[in-house]
Amino acid sequence: MVTLVNLRAYWRFLVVVYQFFPLIVAYARDRRRFFLFGGSRSVTPDMRVRRAGILLDSLLTLGPTFIKLGQLLSTRPDILPPEYIEVLSSLQDDVPPAPWEESSQVLEAELGPVSEAFDVFDPDPISGASLGQVYTAEYDGDPVAVKVRRPGIEKLVEADLRVVRWSLPVVRRFIGEGRAFSLENLADEFAKTIRQEMNYSRERRILDQIRSNFRGDDAIRIPAPVEERSGPRVLTMEYLPGTKINDVAALDEMGIDRTELATTLQRVYLQMIIDDGVFHADPHPGNLAVDDEGRIIFYDFGMSGKVEPFIQDKIVDFYVSIANQDIDGILDALIEMGTLSPEADRQVMGDVMELAIADARGEDIEQYRVQQIIEQVESTIYEFPLRLPRNLALVLRVATVVEGVCVTLDPNFDFIAVATAYLREEGYYEETARELARDAGRQARDTSQALFTVPPKLDRTLDRLERENLSVNIRVEDKNGVFDRLARRIAYSILLAVGALSTSILYAFEGTSVVPAAVAALLTIPVAVLLYRSFRSKRGVRATPQFTRQNLRERRGDE
């Protein structure tokens, strides 16, 4: 039976297809210049920027669910090119508020009559977002902020999630296999994330956990939730007004030390990610404020992330390797985190990292910014076979946004210097050094054993070689099917040659009739087509590296 959700999803699917139709046509022409025939056409960076602008407008037109999808896509450089990431990063979660009459129904369904639940309630919201909006009120004589889920948003989101799932087969036609895999994961992740963000009971638990982690820290303020006036669709919390963290002029009038403020912000996020394992994942200036005493206020914990202990250790190794300019250490950390394939060309990736660090480095080894390094890596992730696990994508986004806020506060802010100082104070440098020493000890032991075991084995091998009694077994792994395609091409070529020769002989010797020659020619044509298609296939036999030091420089020159 067709449900109302399905009917709404079918209608939304038609709306989405109509909205994205110009982009669908453009991507189809990229594959076949004239749709059904013609070669593919190259896409320039300017074309990508224009298309990203069209995508941004379409997402805004389609409403809350697709705004959230665009925000998530802006954290996934393994799926979209850097031009799209840059444009979508400007996507703001700011939409007109729902009418008070509708919001009051949600409040009353959760808490009962508004006049009984609160002493005073202002029906004019102070902020509106795609999934909810925030009001001010008073409860037990104290000012509170009340976050209310947008009326009817659940049905719209569920319908749109079905549309996203139905759209995947269409999108897969325009992307490679690796990105199709990432896109499948993104769809599952997006459904999970947006449902979590609509669950205000979960947000309250995250809020409590992060407040507990920073209990006693006088440099920041996190609003306390009011449990008895909260539920799955309503979150009531302490009201903490402040000045937007990017309002530099107002901060100067307040006499705030902006460098100290930036340092505090950076250290707070380092603690969340490296020490606590749970972090506020939406640190744009609208969610950060400063009170009169210079303390940082955090708002909106709907988007949050968790980091497993193993990944925390690898992030520490990554930061330490960047500070020490250890290219191998950076690559090892990326591989162990599951971001970089172990089969990737280390020489090529090493060149990418080396160029990124050399480009960003100042006069001193620690005078460069992680954002510049991240941007360089992001520009390669789209074209390299790298995959970005969800929380690592959030960590990457948080690092970039936080560094941007810090640079707004202090143009000379040194991210690496602050991170290095934090790692030293927390003892991570010493722990890394001890681990390296243990690894060195193990390697020395293995080398010592090899000194005693290798010479006898080598002597036996040389003796067999001298007696001409040495055989070598070779196993070739052909994961890409190169040998299989070569074999097919050789077989097609032989069959084509035989067919052409047979056609010529029959035509020459059967002078009274051309039918045998025509039949032989017709049988040969399919073989010729198969051979042609094997050479036209994008999965060719030859492979060239996607990145070299020279073409990276050329790309940077084009930008």
Contact 41, 33 (CB under 8 A): yes
Amino acid occupying residue 134: V
What tokens appear for 57 in the block? Answer: 């407008």
Rounded-to-integer distance, Cα 241 and Cα 393, Å: 30
Rounded-to-integer distance, Cα 426 and Cα 420, Å: 10
pLDDT per residue as tens digits for the range 5-54: 577 788 888 888 888 888 888 877 777 666 566 667 777 888 888 988 99
Contact 303, 197 (CB under 8 A): yes
Rounded-to-integer distance, Cα 441 and Cα 459, Å: 28
Give the pLDDT score at 546: 41
pLDDT per residue as tens digits for the range 168-188: 777 776 665 556 556 766 777
The closest of 219, 227, 229 to 263, measured between CA atoms, is: 219
Give the pLDDT score at 179: 60
Residue linked to tokens 């040969």: 524
What is the distance between the terminal CA atoms of the chain, rounded to a whole angstrom?
A: 54
Give the pLDDT score at 356: 64
Which helix (H) or strand (E) element contains residue 39?
none
Phi-psi group of 325: left, alpha or beta (phi > 0 → left; psi -120 to 50 → alpha; rest → beta): left
Contacts with 408 (C-beta within 8 Å, 6 or more apart), sequence order? 246, 248, 285
Give the pLDDT score at 508: 67
530 burial via Cβ count (<10 Å: 0-12, 13-18, 19+) = middle
Q: Helices 346-360 and 327-336: crossing angle, nearest 10°?
A: 120
Rounded-to-integer distance, Cα 492 and Cα 501, Å: 14
Give the pLDDT score at 257: 94
Which DSSP symbol is given to 141? T
What length does the chain have?
559
pTM over 0.85: no
Contacts with 395 (C-beta within 8 Å, 6 or more apart), sequence order? 273, 279, 305, 307, 315
The closest of 233, 215, 243, 20 to 107, measured between CA atoms, is: 233
Per-residue pLDDT for the chain (559 aa), expressed as one digit of tens each? 345 557 778 888 888 888 888 888 887 777 766 656 666 777 788 888 898 899 988 988 888 888 888 887 877 776 778 888 888 877 766 677 788 998 999 999 999 999 999 999 999 998 877 788 899 999 999 999 999 998 888 888 999 998 888 887 777 766 655 565 567 667 777 888 888 889 999 999 999 999 999 998 999 999 999 999 999 999 999 999 999 998 999 999 999 999 999 999 999 999 999 999 999 988 888 889 999 999 999 998 988 888 888 888 888 888 888 777 788 888 888 888 877 777 777 777 777 777 666 655 544 434 444 555 555 555 555 555 456 666 677 787 788 788 888 988 998 888 778 888 888 888 876 655 555 455 545 555 555 555 555 556 555 665 655 555 555 555 655 555 666 677 777 777 787 777 777 777 766 665 556 667 777 777 778 777 777 777 665 444 444 444 444 444 444 455 4
- Percent of residues, the chain, with pLDDT higher than 90: 24
Rounded-to-integer distance, Cα 346 and Cα 330, Å: 11
- Percent of residues, the chain, with pLDDT higher than 70: 70
What tokens appear for 447 in the block? Answer: 């080398």
Rounded-to-integer distance, Cα 514 and Cα 500, Å: 14
476 burial via Cβ count (<10 Å: 0-12, 13-18, 19+) = exposed
Cβ-based neighbour number of residue 233 at 10 Å: 22
Q: Is 344 helix (H, G, I), strand (E, B) or coil?
A: coil
* DSSP class per residue in 68-129: HHHHHHTT-TTTS-HHHHHHHTT-----PPPPHHHHHHHHHHHHS-HHHH-SEE-SS-SEE-
Give the pLDDT score at 547: 40
The closest of 149, 97, 143, 147 to 118, measured between CA atoms, is: 143
Q: Is 313 helix (H, G, I), strand (E, B) or coil?
A: helix
b/e per residue 183-207 (b: at least 16 CB within 10 A): bebbbebbbebbeebbbbebbbebb
Cβ-based neighbour number of residue 479 at 10 Å: 6
Contact 541, 488 (CB under 8 A): no
pLDDT per residue as tens digits for the range 137-170: 999 999 999 999 988 888 889 999 988 888 877 7
- By DSSP bridging, strand 142-149 and strand 132-139 are antiparallel
Phi-psi group of 280: left, alpha or beta (phi > 0 → left; psi -120 to 50 → alpha; rest → beta): beta
SS (H, E, C) 2-28: CCHHHHHHHHHHHHHHHHHHHHHHHHH
Q: Is 309 helix (H, G, I), strand (E, B) or coil?
A: helix
Q: Looking at 151-176, list the stretches that DSSP marks H as alpha helix, in order from N- to C-terminal side.
A: 153-172
Give the pLDDT score at 122: 94
Residue 133 β-bridge partners: 128, 148
